[in-house]
Amino acid sequence: MTESMERPLSDPPLPATGLRGVAVDLSSDQRAFKNVSWGKAMMWIFLLSDTFIFGCFLLAYMTARMSTTVAWPDPSKVFALTIGGKEIPLILIAIMTFVLISSSGTMAMAVNFGYRRDRRKTAALMLATAALGATFVGMQAFEWTKLITEGVRPWGNPWGAAQFGSSFFMITGFHGTHVSIGVLFLLIMARKVWRGDFDQERRGFFTSRKGHYEIVEITGLYWHFVDLVWVFIFAFFYLW
């Protein structure tokens, strides 16, 4: 009997379980991230980190509201507008929400035409999305101006709990900054698409590859995220 036959067979290693097992499976899978571009992967990582930030803001808001002993201002009255002599609650917020949700539709169509390499329709829809985003920011500026005129400050307000002002300016301001950045990026990318930078392989920011319309989808990922965050802000801040 040979030496190899005399050597006892060792037991097969036990499979990893729990989170370690998930990591092992993903690291051994050659197809999991093979076809994911660098730009799209980085955008998803950024959106994940931004989700934690917005989540912390909303959790802080809910904690402050539930822990305060002072009456919280009624959003239906604070954000009401007087139109034709009649006070309409949350009318401006409803319009803002409709505008931003509509911009998700135009952005989705822009991504669709981008992959068809229809640069004119893609650029036009990106400009339409930017216009809707700018409209949203303009209405938010009007909302800020109205509340500041009525005496709302980060340290207090005339209707109740002082935390209302800081929560409002922090959450809506951070979200409005995201929308403003998105509008600027949409305008830049729409100009590049309209000029045909992606078709002519004109080198520049995100345009070093011919026909590289994936940046339109990456921009869309960011824009849809901004819209989704607003849905949570609308539900927790304005409807609660």
pLDDT score recorded for residue 12: 52
The residue ranges of every structural domain in the chain are 39-238
pLDDT digits 0-9 by tens, 215-231: 899 999 999 999 999 99
44: CB partners within 8 A, 6+ apart: 221
This prediction has a pTM of: 0.82
pLDDT score recorded for residue 91: 92
pLDDT digits 0-9 by tens, 129-174: 999 999 999 999 999 999 999 999 988 888 889 899 999 999 999 9
pLDDT score recorded for residue 120: 92
Task: Provide the CATH number for the domain formed by 39-238 in this structure.
Answer: 1.20.120.80
pLDDT score recorded for residue 85: 82
pLDDT score recorded for residue 160: 87
Which segments in the chain show pLDDT lower than 50?
1-5, 7, 9, 207
pLDDT score recorded for residue 199: 75
Gyration radius (Cα) of the chain, Å: 25
pLDDT score recorded for residue 93: 94
